[in-house]
Amino acid sequence: MPRQMWRISLVALIGLLAAGALLGARVAAQDAAPPPDPAAITVVELAPGVTAEVFAGVPSDRAPGQTLYPARFVFDPGAEIFPHSHPGTVALGVAEGRFSWTLVAGAATVLRGAARGATGPAEEITTPGTEVILEPGDAIYYEDDVVHTARGAGEEPAVVLGTLLLTAGEPLLMEAGMDMGTPSAGSAH
């Protein structure tokens, strides 16, 4: 009898090891496939070679009726976006590359070296047709009355980080001449 008990125990042990190996293989297979990322950011092409990633849209208690959007824009070398405006306050900072920004209407302010804490002297841009080239660390800010274009101005893509405080429910950008009160289908929100 002790020999039979040993065989039964051995068979049971082998069964447990086999079940554990199967379970372990199943868990390993599940771990090998990356889980879907619920926080994935959608990349939207605004114009050929110009993309935007909007990381969030949150209401502001300090600015009722406004939504705050942190965003990242990438301009391929030479890629340009059409004349447009934004329904609120925009601050852009260049993270990488060279970024060209051209005023069509309104007024904007440029801060060179803003990423290093520079606060001035500020460059006021008020003449339509004025182009400024922004380098990493430079910033520009403006209000909803500004119409402008922008393009990648270097050999490498220009990466621009933006903070937009915009009228709630309006598109993030409006092609020049569009009715600000009527969001269009397919516009970036």
Question: What is the distance between the alpha carbons of residues 28 and 75, in angstroms, rounded to a whole number?
Answer: 41
The pLDDT of residue 180 is above 50: no
Structural domain that includes position 136? 43-175
Say which residue, 73 or 23, is predicted with more confidence: 73
Q: Which helix (H) or strand (E) holds 58?
A: strand 58-59
pLDDT level of residue 36 (50, 70, 90 thresholds): low
- How many structural domains is the chain composed of? 2
Dump pLDDT digits (tens) for 112-149. Answer: 999 888 887 899 999 999 999 999 999 999 999 999 99
Do 94 and 154 lie in one domain? The reply is yes
pLDDT level of residue 102 (50, 70, 90 thresholds): very high
Poorest-confidence range of 30-34, 103-107, 184-188? 184-188
Do 135 and 63 lie in one domain? The reply is yes
CATH number at residue 164: 2.60.120.10
Do 20 and 93 lie in one domain? The reply is no
